[in-house]
Amino acid sequence: MVDTSKMVKAKVWVLDRRPLGEPTIEDFKLLEEDLPPCSDGDVVIAAECLSVDPYMRYRARKMPLKTTMPGGQVARVLESKSPSWRVGQYMVCYPGWRSHTLVTAKELKEGGLGSYTPLPDLKDFPKSTGLGVVGMPGNTAYFGFLELCQPKSGETVLVNGAAGAVGSAVVQIAKIKGCKVIASAGSQEKCEWVKSLGADHVFNYKTTSVTQALKDAAPDGINCYFDNVGGQFTLEALPHMADFGRVSLCGAISTYNDETRDKGQLVANSPFDAGLIITKQLRVEGFLVPRWIARWMEGLNQLKQWVVEGKLKYQETVTEGFENMPKAFIGLFHGDNIGKAIVNV
Q: In angstroms, how far is the first alpha carbon of the chain from the final one?
A: 32
Cα torsion through 259, 262, 264, 267, rounded to 10: 70
Residue 297 within a domain: no
Residues constituting the chain = 345
Q: Both 196 and 233 in a single domain?
A: yes
Q: Quick check: 82 and 108 in contact, CB under 8 A?
A: yes
- How does pLDDT run across 231-288, given as a tens digit for each residue? 999 999 999 999 999 999 999 888 888 776 555 444 456 788 899 999 999 999 999 9
* Separation of alpha carbons 83 and 232, rounded Å: 52
Q: How many domains does the chain have?
A: 2
* Separation of alpha carbons 52 and 307, rounded Å: 22
Q: Both 141 and 283 in a single domain?
A: yes
Q: Quick check: 130 and 122 in contact, CB under 8 A?
A: yes
Q: Both 213 and 276 in a single domain?
A: yes
Residue 319 within a domain: yes
Q: Both 263 and 193 in a single domain?
A: yes
Q: Both 55 and 119 in a single domain?
A: yes
The pLDDT value given to residue 266: 46
Specify the DSSP element, H or E, that contains 95: none
Q: Both 142 and 278 in a single domain?
A: yes
Q: Which residues pair with 173 in a beta bridge?
A: none
Q: Quick check: 180 and 156 in contact, CB under 8 A?
A: yes
Backbone conformation region of residue 176, classed left if phi is above 0, alpha if psi is from -120 to 50, else beta: alpha
Q: Which residues pair with 73 in a beta bridge?
A: 50, 93
Q: Both 23 and 140 in a single domain?
A: no
Comparing C-alpha atoms, which of 145, 143, 138, 150 is closest to residue 160? Answer: 145
Residue 211 within a domain: yes
Q: Both 35 and 165 in a single domain?
A: no
Q: Both 115 and 148 in a single domain?
A: no
Residue 121 within a domain: yes
CA 56 to chain centre: 9
DSSP state of 280: H
Q: Both 219 and 250 in a single domain?
A: yes
Q: Which residues of the chain have pLDDT under 70?
A: 1-6, 112-114, 260-269
- CATH number for the domain spanning 319: value is 3.90.180.10
The pLDDT value given to residue 260: 63
Q: Which residues pair with 76 in a beta bridge?
A: 46, 90
Comparing C-alpha atoms, which of 227, 127, 234, 194 is closest to residue 339? Answer: 194
Residue 198: give the domain boundaries.
136-288
Q: Both 128 and 216 in a single domain?
A: no
- How does pLDDT run across 289-312, given as a tens digit for each residue? 999 999 999 999 999 999 999 999
The pLDDT value given to residue 1: 41
The pLDDT value given to residue 110: 83
* Separation of alpha carbons 254 and 237, rounded Å: 14
Residue 294 within a domain: no
* Separation of alpha carbons 212 and 302, rounded Å: 36
Q: Quick check: 12 and 98 in contact, CB under 8 A?
A: yes
Q: Both 127 and 140 in a single domain?
A: no
Residue 296 within a domain: no
Residue type at position 19: P
Residue 43 within a domain: yes
Q: Residue 148: helix, strand or coil by DSSP?
A: helix
Residue 293 within a domain: no
- CATH number for the domain spanning 210: value is 3.40.50.720
